[in-house]
Amino acid sequence: MRKVTLPFRSRRDGQADGARKPGGDDIRLHVLRCAIRAPSPRNSQPWNVTLRGSGRIVLSIDHSRAARALDPLSRQVFISCGAFIENLDIAAREFGYRADIDLFPAGWPVPGKPLQDPVANIDLEKDERVRPDPLFPSIPLRSTNRRPYAKRPVPLPVAGELADAGDYERVPMGFTSDRDLIREIGGLATEALALELSDRTRFLESIEYFRFTDAEAAGRYDGYGLAQSGYGKVARLIASAFRPSRDSALSRPEVFSRRAVSDLRKVVEKCGGFGWLSTKGDFRIDQVRAGRAFERVHLMATSLSLAVQPVTQPIADYQEMTDIKARLYGLLAVPETHMLQMLFRTGYARPVPPTPRRGVPEFIVP
């Protein structure tokens, strides 16, 4: 087995692992450091973990971090659980373990209802037959890149590599690099963001995990800020003088919303292509599978030096988005029998700093 040095040890992991949780040799702590690098809505990290016995990890949802207005059916949360599981599975293989994953051990959840039971029981078993996954090195490098991308199109053979990385049979991937279609998708995305921010409750949820300044970001290990949008340190200082502060955004949400829509309009059409993932059903297991597939697509994109940003607004599940979602389905020729689970832009861009993560011990609950 190869010796692996994890370059993304959490800033809070140091003594907390030994002081509060099982010792540093517990394989579960190593794989969890990889699992929590998974993407989640607004980097909210809505996961709880319980450690059972010597090798079991129980994954549940942290409902305090779920956005009930933006994600009323918790579909995005379950997709993030799928990405979490995929990272964990890849990491287990790297360390010579097999991850036996039992989804929804308490029984199939009711669609659209909050799940209080575990999402998965995951048992780690030492197994010399497992082989490392070539996507493992991309885990610490993968990040959501919100900066403008080059207009250079992503070649179709490269898009084919992205599709092959996922679970194409159960989660087929569509892709386009056609400039006219990209422009139309971008138009729907900006229209959807304006609609999203027009509701006060959704607006408040949208900015809850946005860090307006470096000072706000410094004390938090979740959310995202201007750094992940491609602003360097000097540019962030300048931007902070001209962009709305949290207080001004709360007192004048229409100003913040106009700026946010304008910013999205500038970046969403500047990309090398749009990709999307769909499933035949929309049960919780479909959402988890979509999350696993998307994480593999994103990790493959990272290995190919491609930037990726999910565009979630046009496929949101609240009632007001029905018309925009229907137009997007028609635009992408997604069959009525399928559920569009992920929409993302991709292309070529300079990397951005990874979004922060809370320390592993903060995810562990009794």
What residues make up the domain containing 50?
Answer: 13-141+354-363
**Signed CA dihedral, 148, 153, 158, 162: sign only:** positive
In a domain, 24, yes or no: yes
Angle at CA of residue 280, ends 277 and 286, nearest 5°: 70
Percent of the chain with pLDDT over 70: 90
**Residue 75 sits in a domain of what CATH number?**
3.40.109.10
Q: Quick check: 290 and 277 in contact, CB under 8 A?
A: yes
Supply the mean pLDDT for the chain: 90
Q: Per the structure, how many domains does the chain have?
A: 1
The confidence score (pLDDT) of residue 235 equals: 63
**Signed CA dihedral, 24, 26, 27, 28: sign only:** negative
Q: Quick check: 223 and 217 in contact, CB under 8 A?
A: yes
Name every residue whose Cβ is closer than 8 Å to that of residue 160 and which is 6 or more positions away in sequence.
Answer: none
Angle at CA of residue 144, ends 140 and 149, nearest 5°: 120
Name every residue whose Cβ is closer than 8 Å to that of residue 150 and which is 6 or more positions away in sequence.
Answer: 270, 272, 347, 348, 349
In a domain, 232, yes or no: no
Q: How far apart are CA 219 and CA 312, in angstroms?
A: 27
The yes-or-no verdict on residue 285 having pLDDT over 80 is yes
Question: For the chain, what is the total number of helices (H) and then of strands (E)?
Answer: 12, 10
Task: Please give the single-letter amino acid code of residue 317.
Answer: D
pLDDT digits (tens, 9 = 90+) for 50-108: 999 999 999 999 999 999 999 999 999 999 999 999 999 999 999 999 999 999 999 98
In a domain, 98, yes or no: yes
Query: Per mean pLDDT, which range of 83-97, 128-142, 207-221, 286-300 is the poorest?
Result: 207-221
Q: What pTM value is reported for the model?
A: 0.91
In a domain, 152, yes or no: no
Q: How far apart are CA 277 and CA 279, in angstroms?
A: 7
In a domain, 87, yes or no: yes
The confidence score (pLDDT) of residue 358 equals: 95
Q: Give the pairing type, strands 307-310 and 339-347.
A: antiparallel
In a domain, 132, yes or no: yes
The confidence score (pLDDT) of residue 237 equals: 66
In a domain, 120, yes or no: yes
The confidence score (pLDDT) of residue 212 equals: 86
Task: Please give the single-letter amino acid code of residue 292.
Answer: R
List the end-to-end C-alpha distance of the chain, in Å, as a whole number: 32
The confidence score (pLDDT) of residue 270 equals: 84
Q: Which of 209, 152, 246, 254 is nearest to 355 (CA)?
A: 209
The confidence score (pLDDT) of residue 3 equals: 35
Q: How far apart are CA 30 and CA 24, in angstroms?
A: 8
Q: Quick check: 334 and 282 in contact, CB under 8 A?
A: no
Name every residue whose Cβ is closer than 8 Å to that of residue 33 and which is 6 or more positions away in sequence.
Answer: 6, 8, 9, 10, 13, 91, 360
Q: Give the pairing type, strands 224-225 and 210-211.
A: parallel
- What band does 19 get if pLDDT is binned at 50, 70 and 90? very low
- Number of Cβ within 10 Å of residue 70's Cβ equals 23
The confidence score (pLDDT) of residue 351 equals: 92
pLDDT digits (tens, 9 = 90+) for 210-238: 988 888 888 789 999 877 777 766 666 66
Adjacent-strand bridge partners of 345: 274, 309
Q: Which of 139, 343, 357, 361 is nearest to 228 (CA)?
A: 357
Q: Give the pairing type, strands 120-126 and 97-103.
A: antiparallel
In a domain, 309, yes or no: no
Q: How far apart are CA 112 and CA 343, in angstroms?
A: 20
- Number of Cβ within 10 Å of residue 330's Cβ equals 9
Task: Please give the single-letter amino acid code of residue 77.
Answer: V
